[in-house]
């Protein structure tokens, strides 16, 4: 292995690392540098970076705490390594820990929202939520001057409200007011003599205003009025009410305030402006309608109305139709009565009905409808009833449902929509009326980060660091109000990266897991500049990465290999970029130097214009009413810069429509007009990057179903039959054969409080999952625990003679997962690995060539060589007559596709349009396409 010497004081030294497949690795890497770990998927990169270096850094942090603190955290196991020297405090930034809390946003995760709340609380100018006029504080003299402008002879009372909607008898208060010399009060709208006032009902809420003075407007009352106003303001904490006795209606009472006052005298609900006022997680600021979530579940007419060419009698109102065979009897009678009253036919196509008829059917009418029916004796009966409309009916049935099953019947017609009151802003109207530079805090949060940065640059404020960094890592298309649950793993990781840059820490070891995931080639340069900036602060970066641009930008390269799983775990190269190009042992070096490459297809599959799926009028998220055509029987790649609308088109619209129609799903499709050509397909398969399970119990063996056959094989051994063991004995999910100390998990979870939870091996079974008796049963010399610990490639050879098992395992090897252990916990699999487990599972199912496969960035976590294997699998699916649609940024996949749909041109509000479609050669000619520019370079 070629190495370059590093001065002792400036290096991190690892000796004897044996975690997972690492083969006693010894390595020296420079500190205060950007070090990229690369190699085949499963070669041992993450084992060295995360499970050895970062894990030891975390363990040393825990060890540095007091004994009192450690007793709550438990013992963290030391990684299997002889020693590590020169280790700095370690911070891990991975892809897995995405926040699913609906109250978390980009703004709250990065803490930018905290700065905004403080800024708006300190320099924000309040406005009236009713009229929009600026609210100002009034002095006593200003209040007196306004009152003195009343017409001469106007009778009025100066009131001081001292009780505002509070329960109690208030006898003591009345006595106290009498002792201060007051004679009258207005109690719940009635003037009472305090001397005659009776105790109030203590279970009711009351309003009490003391009558400070009764006056008639004229020139000589100035001094008396001033004294009365001062008294009222003192009693009512800076507020007073003027009661114009002879006035009627809303104009009778006028409110004044030393603190806040609307020039047009509208009542004000905002009594203080503090940072908490602008928090949607606190009752002071949260919109009361949606409780600060910004969304409400509401019935969507697009989901209620079926094919608009159908009539009402033909079942266009989906919840009232009998699976497309007409109307339920009750609704036939009801709508027949409505049709008679409003003079229309139930047989007319929905699209041909006048708007007022459609509105009446959906939202109800203002008159009763007469219904007719015949009883079992043939007698015609009649009665009248109100008609609430289809949408109101669905909402009522949903709210009245007593359990989840009942709600699920109606939930398919509901969509999460912006709150009708705050319009998604999450805050109260009076809070939104506080503005900086005529802009509310919600307006800023709704801006794209690029526009947000521009706004603050014009304000010439200092506190804009985090926003600059978010833009710098390629997230300028996001907005601060974007919910955390909607972020991809790559976006969430880059947000945490931006937060770390904003923290300005130095002397820290950062371990990053593929930060370029989900990033278009155009945005890579800015991400690399950000990583370099983090390094230049005085930090060490260890970046696990396959991206060629990032590899070229590294100060130091560590290539792990030469193969994956048992064939990896060694350092093939440690040095600079130039040195790896000539390394004959390095597969990475072979691809970087051009000795190996993924070739462009000599011939692409032809598109049959009659065999297509067409999405018409897609309007979800930032999509701008686009039409997109997906050719069947091809490999189609949907491309575009980050945030352009790829996922909105493919995942939210295309897949949801296909799943509902072909698979009988009940999902809510994104906004669109229609999807044509569905009759040409039988099944849709969505292979995403969500985990295959969220507990250590889930693993590739259980997910693919191969574990059932393995357990059956062990149950059929002579030893099992002699002991009377059944197939269930070899399950770690039920009592009998499993280790009860860890309930078959093999690990125990230690809650770390201020750090991520840590899983440690069970002290009883030592991670084997099973009890001693079960482990005494062997097949070909192996226990079931040892089988689960095998890499899948080894297991495929072990079970080669058992077709029912080997066919599953061979497929997993084909998709590049031979290095993964058969029983490896789902919690330790990356998003890309989980996706390939799902893909392998689907490949085992029979296909008649009428299936469509939808994949979201399947190359995530894949080395150049693994991408080549994946393309063979995807093309194999297409060769069987199926259709494959992938969302991709990887240029090797894009150039290998038969058809491209490029969305953009930019991200966020600057995207949402179809920029180019056609073969890769066609797209390369489109100057407006960012993808085309990079394709042009590699296609020549």
Tell me the fold of 137-259: Ribulose 1,5 Bisphosphate Carboxylase/Oxygenase (3.30.190)
Stretch (H or E) spanning 934: helix 930-939
| Residues facing 615 on adjacent strands | 628, 675
Q: Which of 289, 280, 297, 298 is nearest to 103 (CA)?
A: 280
Tell me the fold of 700-826: ABC transporter ATPase like fold (1.20.1580)
Report yes or no: 283 and 426 within 8 Å, Cβ to Cβ. no
Report yes or no: 824 and 701 within 8 Å, Cβ to Cβ. no
Report yes or no: 247 and 94 within 8 Å, Cβ to Cβ. no
Q: Which of 858, 854, 853 is nearest to 893 (CA)?
A: 858
pLDDT in tens, 122-136: 888 899 888 888 887
Quick check: helix, strand or coil at residue 338?
A: helix
Residue 445: exposure state from Cβ atoms within 10 A (0-12, 13-18, ≥19): buried
How far apart are the C-alpha atoms of 252 and 24, rounded to whole Å?
Answer: 88
Assess whether pLDDT exceeds 50 at residue 398. Answer: yes
- Count of beta carbons in the 10 Å neighbourhood of residue 594: 8
How far apart are the C-alpha atoms of 307 and 315, rounded to whole Å?
Answer: 9
pLDDT score, position 2: 47
Kindly state the average pLDDT of the residues 316-325: 71
CATH superfamily label, 8-98+489-593 = P-loop containing nucleotide triphosphate hydrolases (3.40.50.300)
Residue 643 is given by DSSP the state: T
pLDDT score, position 759: 72
How far apart are the C-alpha atoms of 884 and 734, rounded to whole Å?
Answer: 39
What residue ranges do the domains of the chain occupy? 8-98+489-593, 137-259, 297-418, 612-691+831-939, 700-826
Kindly state the average pLDDT of the residues 61-88: 80
pTM of the model: 0.75
Kindly state the average pLDDT of the residues 109-128: 88
pLDDT in tens, 809-861: 999 988 888 888 899 888 778 767 888 898 888 888 877 889 999 999 888 88
In angstroms, how far is the first alpha carbon of the chain from the final one? Answer: 35
H-type alpha helices, 298-440: 301-304, 329-342, 355-363, 390-400, 404-411, 429-432
**Domain 8-98+489-593 identical in fold to domain 612-691+831-939:** yes
Which tokens is 122 given? 């300190």
* CATH architecture observed for domain 297-418: Orthogonal Bundle (1.10)
Cα-based angle 292, 424, 396 (whole degrees, multiple of 5): 80
| Domain at 612-691+831-939: CATH code | 3.40.50.300
Radius of gyration over every alpha carbon of the chain, rounded to an integer in angstroms? 35
The phi, psi pair for 742, rounded to 5°, reads: -115, 5
The length of the chain is: 940
Assess whether pLDDT exceeds 90 at residue 517. Answer: no
Across 26-40, 73-87, 482-496, least confident range: 482-496
Kindly state the average pLDDT of the residues 512-521: 86
Strands (E), 471-516: 509-513
Report yes or no: 818 and 837 within 8 Å, Cβ to Cβ. no
């Amino acid at each position: 292995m070629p190495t370059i010497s590093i001065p002792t004081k400036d290096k991190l030294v690892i000796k004897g690392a044996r975690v997972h497949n690492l083969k006693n690795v010894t390595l020296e890497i420079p500190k205060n540098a950007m070090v990229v770990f690369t190699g085949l998927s499963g070669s041992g990169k993450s084992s060295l970076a995360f499970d050895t270096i970062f894990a030891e850094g975390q363990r040393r942090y825990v060890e540095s705490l007091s004994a009192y603190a450690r007793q709550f955290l438990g013992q963290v196991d030391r990684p299997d390594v002889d020693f590590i020297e020169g280790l700095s405090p370690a911070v891990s930034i991975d892809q897995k820990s995405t926040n699913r809390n609906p109250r978390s946003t980009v703004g709250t995760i990065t803490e930018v929202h905290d700065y905004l709340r403080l800024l708006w609380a300190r320099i924000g100018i309040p406005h009236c939520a009713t009229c929009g006029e600026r609210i100002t504080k009034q002095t006593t003299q200003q209040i007196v001057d306004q009152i003195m402008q009343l017409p001469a002879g106007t009778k009025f009372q100066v009131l001081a409200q001292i009780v505002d909607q509070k329960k109690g008898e208030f006898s003591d208060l009345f006595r106290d007011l009498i002792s201060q010399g007051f004679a009258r009060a207005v109690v719940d709208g009635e003037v009472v003599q305090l001397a005659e006032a009776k105790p109030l009902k203590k279970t009711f809420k009351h309003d009490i205003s003391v009558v400070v003075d009764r006056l008639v407007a004229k020139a000589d009352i100035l001094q008396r009025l001033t004294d009365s106003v001062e008294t009222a303001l003192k009693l009512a904490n800076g507020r007073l009410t003027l009661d114009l006795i002879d006035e009627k209606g809303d104009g009778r009472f006028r409110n004044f305030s030393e603190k806040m006052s609307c020039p047009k005298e509208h009542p004000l609900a905002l009594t203080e402006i503090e940072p908490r006022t602008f928090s949607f997680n606190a009752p002071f600021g949260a919109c009361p309608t949606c409780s600060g979530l910004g969304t409400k579940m509401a019935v969507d007419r697009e989901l209620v109305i079926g094919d608009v060419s159908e009539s009402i009698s033909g079942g266009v109102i989906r919840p009232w139709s009998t699976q497309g065979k007409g109307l339920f009897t009750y609704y036939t009678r009801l709508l027949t009565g409505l049709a008679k009253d409003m003079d229309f036919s139930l047989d007319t196509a929905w699209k041909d009905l006048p708007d007022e008829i459609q509105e009446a059917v959906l939202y109800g009418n203002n008159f009763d409808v007469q219904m007719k029916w015949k009883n079992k004796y043939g007698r015609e009966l009649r009665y009248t009833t109100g008609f609430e409309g289809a949408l109101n009916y669905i909402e009522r049935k949903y709210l009245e449902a007593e359990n989840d099953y009942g709600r699920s019947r109606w939930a398919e017609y509901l969509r999460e929509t912006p709150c009708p009151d705050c319009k998604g802003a999450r805050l109260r109207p009076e809070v939104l009326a506080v503005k900086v530079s005529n802009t509310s805090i919600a307006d800023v949060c709704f801006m794209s980060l690029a526009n947000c940065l521009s706004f603050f640059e014009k304000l010439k404020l200092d506190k804009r660091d985090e926003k600059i960094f978010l833009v710098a890592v390629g997230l300028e298309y996001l907005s601060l109000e974007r919910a955390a649950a909607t972020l991809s793993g790559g976006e969430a990781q880059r947000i945490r990266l931006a937060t770390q840059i904003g923290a300005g820490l130095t002397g820290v070891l950062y371990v990053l897991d593929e930060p370029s995931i989900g990033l278009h080639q155009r945005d890579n340069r800015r991400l690399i500049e950000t990583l370099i900036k983090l390094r230049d602060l005085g930090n060490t970066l260890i970046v696990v990465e396959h991206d060629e641009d990032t590899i070229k930008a590294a100060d130091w390269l560590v290539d792990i290999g030469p193969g994956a799983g048992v064939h990896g775990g060694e350092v093939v190269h440690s040095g600079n970029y130039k040195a790896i190009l000539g390394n004959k042992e390095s597969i990475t070096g072979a691809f970087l130097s051009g000795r190996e490459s993924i070739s462009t297809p000599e011939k692409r599959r032809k598109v049959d214009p009659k065999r297509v799926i067409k999405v018409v009028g897609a309007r979800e998220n930032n999509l701008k009413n686009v039409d997109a055509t997906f050719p069947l029987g091809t490999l189609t790649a949907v491309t575009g810069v980050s945030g352009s609308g790829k996922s909105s088109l493919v995942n939210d619209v295309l897949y949801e429509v296909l799943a509902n129609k072909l698979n009988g799903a009940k999902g809510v499709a994104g906004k669109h007009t229609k999807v044509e050509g569905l009759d040409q397909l039988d099944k849709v398969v969505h292979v995403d990057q969500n985990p295959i399970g969220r507990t250590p119990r889930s693993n590739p063996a259980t997910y693919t179903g191969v574990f059932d056959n393995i357990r059956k094989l062990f149950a059929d051994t002579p030893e099992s039959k002699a002991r009377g063991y059944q197939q269930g004995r070899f399950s770690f999910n039920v009592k009998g054969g499993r280790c009860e100390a860890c309930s078959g998990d093999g690990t125990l979870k230690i809650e770390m409080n201020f750090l991520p939870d840590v899983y440690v091996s069970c002290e009883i079974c030592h991670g084997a999952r099973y009890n001693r008796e079960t482990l005494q049963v062997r097949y070909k010399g192996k226990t079931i625990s040892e089988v689960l610990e095998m890499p899948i490639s080894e297991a495929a050879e072990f079970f080669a003679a058992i077709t029912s098992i080997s066919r599953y395992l061979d497929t997993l090897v084909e998709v590049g997962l031979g290095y993964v252990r058969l029983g490896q916990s789902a919690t330790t699999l990356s998003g890309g690995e989980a996706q390939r487990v799902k893909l392998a599972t689907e490949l085992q199912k029979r296909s008649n060539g009428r299936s469509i496969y939808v994949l979201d960035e399947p190359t995530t976590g894949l080395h150049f060589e693994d991408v080549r294997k994946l393309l063979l699998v995807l093309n194999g699916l297409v060769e069987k007559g199926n259709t494959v649609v992938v969302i991709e940024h990887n240029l090797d996949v894009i150039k290998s596709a038969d058809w491209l749909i490029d969305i953009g041109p930019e991200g966020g509000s600057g995207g949402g349009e179809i920029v180019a479609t056609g073969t890769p050669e066609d797209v390369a000619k489109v100057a407006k396409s960012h993808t085309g520019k990079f394709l042009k370079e590699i296609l020549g």
